[in-house]
């Protein structure tokens, strides 16, 4: 098992996703039910998916390129959408610690969406 550019990106995606889950737990307070469902589903769902992908890579069972590309593009869209919805929900809130954590959660989600997009480019070119 060689450490490649793709495995480093997957590890970065996993670290950012777990950070988003922790921040989501600490700053839960969105009022819109769809935002709550999308954000929680994206963060927890992709935590499970990325742990499975990373475990498969560590065990020497790489995933099919088309499936990896699908997960990366879908993750890009879902994380960016989640981040935008979180930022929109908290932009006019009171300046509290909870709001600061929520803004950080939204920003990290958008950054993770960008990392997923970069991952999809590298996967497509590979």
CATH of the domain at 61: 1.20.1260
The count of domains in the chain is: 1
Two structure tokens written together for 106: 């939204």
Structure tokens, 121: 């480019």
What is the SS3 assignment for 37?
A: helix
Task: Print the domain residue range for 22.
Answer: 5-125
Question: Exposure of 5 by Cβ count < 10 A (0-12 exposed, 13-18 middle, 19+ buried)?
Answer: exposed
Whether the CB-CB separation of 82 and 109 falls below 8 Å is answered with: yes
pLDDT band at 16 (very low <50, low <70, confident <90, very high): very high
Per-residue model confidence (pLDDT) at position 6: 67
The DSSP code for 76 is H
Provide, rounded to the nearest whole percent, the portion of the chain with pLDDT above 90.
58
Which tens digit of pLDDT belongs to each residue from 84-119?
999 998 888 778 888 899 999 999 999 999 999 999
Name the residue among 48, 46, 108 with its Cα closest to residue 72.
Answer: 46
pTM reported for the whole predicted model:
0.90
Which tokens in the block code for residue 44? 């927890």
């Amino acid at each position: 098992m060689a450490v490649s550019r793709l495995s480093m990106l997957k590890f970065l995606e996993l670290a950012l996703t777990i950070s988003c889950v922790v921040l989501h737990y600490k700053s839960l307070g969105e009022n819109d039910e769809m935002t709550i469902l999308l954000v929680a589903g994206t963060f927890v769902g992709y935590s499970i998916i990325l742990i499975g992908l990373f475990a498969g890579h560590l065990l020497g069972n790489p995933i099919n390129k088309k499936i990896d590309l699908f997960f990366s593009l879908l993750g890009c869209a879902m994380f960016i959408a989640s981040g935008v919805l979180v930022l929109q929900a908290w932009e006019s809130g009171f300046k509290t610690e909870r709001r600061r954590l929520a803004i950080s959660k939204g920003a990290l989600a958008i950054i993770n969406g960008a990392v997923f997009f970069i991952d999809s480019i590298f996967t497509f070119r590979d």
